[in-house]
Every structure is written in structure tokens, then in C-alpha cells.
Structure 1
């Protein structure tokens, strides 16, 4: 508590320093920011500060007199007075007695009347063989219940139960009493072992822990979950004791668990985005999709929530690199030289053929990829990797640039499909430029191979095609490619799909 002079000095210095709280506190060493603001508001209102702060007494004079009168009229027992009125304490009641009745003296200690040893022994026997409560026996003897239990501890010891009543009032022999004690000890051991077993089973069920895990390796939050799961069977005290979990920690984590989930809406939206997009979106695409829904959350939180919700995107497996060394005729130069960047659409096109082997048969895909944004310009799907497959795809791609002056470089591998007369004549008529990878070097066409990898990871490998027909699979593949062009966002395009990216640039699709 600061004096009037200290508070006035602080306010005056605060005004002198231009109402700079931090500088004022550093020079004086006191008070807190809120206290200084309150003092200044009080000074600004009344141009002065109060001389002091008077605290309202907790108990009124009437409360004091009532407590003292009850003490004097009911046997001068402090404990009984406190229990009856529900307020005051021994020290406070003694002070009130000294203040209001100094002539009567103060009896701070409340003692039961002294009884001879024979009377105490009779009282203890009545306590141990009683048919009613201990308070009833204490009232009959004329002492308080605490004194009666204290006599029992002095005569029989603390380990002896306060009730020795037996069925049909039949006295028990010493052997029978020993057997009963041993039986009770065995029951406690069985209950403790059963509790330990149930804790291990529940940890395996709820927390996915191994059955032999050490309970002390669990976090307090995990222990709280176990206590809540088993408190219908065991008492909370036994569970806390077995898990060595402090009661305060249990109630703290229990309150935390009952608080509404902060990211409940985000979790639901993430699951919806993940399921709608072939279960192939990672944390960056999920984060960008959430931003489109006006849900602001950091990418680290997205990764953590995806891990908790088990939203794992399909990934590729490491494979040993292999190459084909065959060569059937002269091939054009590698004009791209692994430069797959393009400043405008229809500058560089990539093509290749990939195979899908399902139980119903084999399906082949021949796409044309634009290096500008990865859009699939055209594609053809068939059951045989022949000239018709690649020529149909090329005709569709040429039709899309027929009205423009674009003459892209068409890059492929050294497969025979791209050396047949039909392919060569179409390329020549459209005035396109051919480019081929080096022999047996698939990284020279890495952008197209990357498209195949993403397609198979996101659509093919993660699903079961056992009961799918060829026509159904072709329809699924066609649907995926359309989704890839129109809806699948790419972080490199500003979280837009290729079609959305071109529309944002004003390019006709």
C-alpha cells in the first residue's frame, strides 16, 4: 500500500514527463501501469488524491456480539461456536472475547471433561461395538466425537477399526481375525492388479500405446483421459494414486479437454477439401484452399491438424532408375535441353505414353502438356499404344491452335510412335518443330514424367480397381484430367488451377 505522498509524487512526475508511463516507473521504481493510470484519473477528476484507502471490515459489530454471546451461552466451546455460526476462527474469536468481555477471561482450548480411565475404556468399548453412529455414542458419553476417537487410538492403536461389530454379535477368535485380515489384504492386492491391468488395456485402446508401456512415460493429458475413461469403475482417488497424477493437474487438463475445440471448423473444412480432391492435397494446397474459404491459419497448424486427423496424401515410392538404350533411326536434337519454362502458352509442348495395368486389362494414356502452366492441352486414352492413339491426340492439339499463329516445339522421347510417317506428316503440315530426348534418358522429359507420377499417385495407386471395367476406368481417368486442368490448384500458380491461371491473365481457354 502506497502512502498519499508516494502516490502524489508519482502522478506529478507522470504529468511532468509528458504522461510517459514507462519512464515514470523506471525513475520511481513503482507502481504498476494500471495503478498509475488509476491515480492519474482520480487526480484529473478531483485535482487531488484520497488520503488513504479504508477497507470495509469483514465482520460487523453485530456479528462479533452474536459470536461472543453464543460462546458464553453454550458451554464456552470455541469449536462448537465456529461450527454453529459458520464464521470466525479461534484467534479471531479470542480477540473478540478479549475486546468485549475481558473480565471473563478467554478459554481458547475446548476440552472434554476429564473422565476416569474406567469410563474412557467403557466409552471405547461402546464405540467399537456400536450399532449406530460414533456421534450418537459420543453424545451418550457427553464428549465430542474427536475425543472419543482419540481415546480409541490411545487404547487400541490407529490400525484398529472404530467398529468391531460382527454378524450375530459372535466373538471372533484370534485365528479367524488373522485370516480375515489376510483375506482383506489379498482382496486389495487383486483390486490393485486389476486396476493396473485395466489402465494398460485402456491406454492401448484410447492412446494406441503398447500393452507393456510404463505408466510414468504418459503425459498428464493422457493420464487425465485414462482417469475419465475408468472413473465409472474405480474411484478418482485410486486412479490418481496409481498413475501418480496430482489432483490439481487432473482437474486442469480435464477443464482443458472440456473447452470447445478451437480448430473444429478448420478440421471439418480440411477433411472436406482432402476428400473432394482425390485425397492427394498436402499441407500447402490445404493451406491455400483454406485461405480461399477465408479461414486464416498458419501452415504449421495445418500440418499439425492434418497429422492429428490422419490426412496423409499419397506419395511416390523410391524406384531404381532404368533406361532404354534402343535406337531405330536418326532423331532431331534436344532443343529444350531440360528447360521446361515458357513465358507464354503454346511455346513448348511435351508428350509421352504411360500404361495403367488393372485387373480388367491395360489402358494407355497419351497427353500433350503445355510447359507454360502444366495444362493438358489434349489427350487420348485407349487399350493399345499404337499410332492411332498418338495421332488422335496430336490432331486434337493442332485443332486448338489452328486459329492462332503459335507454332510450339513438340518434345518427346525416342519412341517409335513419334517417328512414324503419320506423326511426321502432321508435324510438318502444322509447321511445328520436333525435339527429342537423348536415348534412354527420361529426365530430359522430366516435366511430362512428373505429370504421370502425380496422376498415378493421386488417382491410380491409392484406389482398388479390382471390380472396375475398362470403360469405367477410362471414364475415371478422363474425369481426373479435366479436374487437373480446371480445379486442382498449384502453389506455383498462386494457388490456382491452370484454367483459373489463364483466365486471371486474360488468356482464352
Structure 2
């Protein structure tokens, strides 16, 4: 069994936002370094069902959400699981092929051998098999999947005869003139024996190369000694109005103030340039972002250099390198749209909500790490 990976909540939320925006799962996996596409699908299912709180649960800890047995203490749970695993090993050793994929027969025999000691629900949850599947296997054992050599040879002969121009559907149609057969069986054999159609090669979209990728100069040193010395920027999605909106923000690490922001209905270079142009000339300042295409574009890089700013970029698939601005965007949504239950409203209300919150965040909202002062008050007193 492969080692399961625990992803931070920030990465899960970023993946959901990118999926809502229409970015493909493959591109999301590449950018955020996610191993399995089912992870993204599961997070999206929780998001659609209003179960955003489940994003914070650890790997494998489903019991608190009503999907496994409850115990009065952790020690009791560990004892029960240890007892079950010992019995599982003893039973599995009796069967040929132990260590390979567990067959339905082994699962049924294992659960029946420990009845009275643990419940069927507990046994199935530990085995990772749905209880309904166990009862289906018990009522009607699955037939052997091994196919006779004659069928394999027939399929091989047909594929060779037609020079591998046919896929499993056409091969199935030819076989059905002689016998009854399921297309899934034919597909399984052709995949296992490497007999697939060789005519149409999959087309791959050329991704191209970014114009410019800067070094990771910030290196998670999120403290600054003067205003506009270190800046961080990012784009977040606002899927709450009549259409998808995007917020581009620049945060000053000195006092946590949002010094520039723009809202638009397109995530393009014009959006980030509009945000950047709100900054005054700041020689020797550092501006940190991720490796998004808008930040690596030639137009954006020329504008950054024109202001005398040094560019820094996060490592690929590492949102934590840009944690302060990620945290701000998360806080903004949590304290406005999530808190007030805003899911479907007008675009104008979305824009006004964001602008009002940024004003509140800069001028009124106190921050513990800044002596319980708002960002603007902290800057004024420091000066």
C-alpha cells in the first residue's frame, strides 16, 4: 500500500479555487505537487456539499465524521485495531497469493472468522471495503477473472489481422459474431496483453515555457525592517457573484497592510499590472509571488524592473513560500463570505464587500503580533 500524503489546508483550498475557475485537474496536480487526482475530486465534493470543515481533518481520521467506530479512549481503539490486525495476518497467511491484492473470497472468509469479536462494520472499515460490497460478495462470490488461453489467442489473432487498427469495441463486435462476450473482458485482455489500437496517438497540448522565473529570494523570511521593503502578491478567486471575479493584492510584510489591490472578471496580465501600478517607485524593494503565468510574463517583468523592484518567486507547488498573502485571502473570505453565508449574490456586492473589508483590515482590525494594533496604526507609531 502506498504511503498516504497529508496536504495542508492552504493547498486544498488553492486546488478547489483553481478547479472552480476551470483549470484542469492535471495542471492543478502539476502546480501544487498533488500525487493523485482523486484527492482533488474528493475536496471538490466536500466543497459542493458544504463540508469545507472536512478539509482540516488528518489523513485517515474519518471517525469523527461518523464513518467509523467510536471508542471511549484512544487506548481502547488501539487495542481493538491491534487485535484485529493480528487476526487478519493469521487468516491471510492461509491463502495462496498472500501479499497481493486481496480477493473477495479472502475478505468474506476473514470477516466471518472474526464475527463476535468485532462488528462487520468495524471489520469492513479497517479493510477499506464498503459494508454493502462485503454482503454482495458474500451472497454471490465473484467468478474467476482468469480467461482461457483460446480467447486471448483469438483476440491476438484479430488484432494482428487488422494491424492493430481496431480498439476493444470493434474487436468485441467481431468476437460477438462467434460467441457471447462482454466488452469489458475484451478491454481487460487487450490492455494486459498490450494489444491496444495503435493508430491514434494522444495529442498533448504544448505548455510552453514561462518568459522569466525568478529565484526564491524571500526564503520565508516574512519580517521586514521598513515599510515597502518586502512585498508579497497573489491572486484569489471570488466565486460568489453572478460571474467569477478575481482579486489581486499586494501586502507589505512590515505591518501586514494591503498596499494595493484590484478586482476584475479576468485573470490576466492587465489585472496584476493594474495592482502593481498602484505602488509608488520603491527602489531596492523585493516583490514576491508564485510562478503564475501572469507574473512570469514579459510585460509584468518589465513593469517590475521599471519600478526598481527585485522579483522573488515561490518554488513550484509550494504555496507556503507565499504564506502571508495566502493567509490574508483566506481570512478575507472566512470573515466575510463564509461568516455571513454569502454564496450567490451580485457582482457589485462582491466587489463592495472586498473593498470594505480591505479598508477595515488596514485601519481597524487589530493584529496580535503587532501589539494589538491595526496595520496603519502600527506603521504610524513606528515612524
TM-score range with shorter-chain normalisation?
0.3 to 0.5
Q: Structure 1 length normalisation: TM-score?
A: 0.34
Query: Could you tell me the TM-score, scaled by structure 2's length?
Result: 0.45
Question: Larger relative CO (CA 8 A, sep 6+): 1 or 2?
Answer: 2
Larger proportion of helix: 1
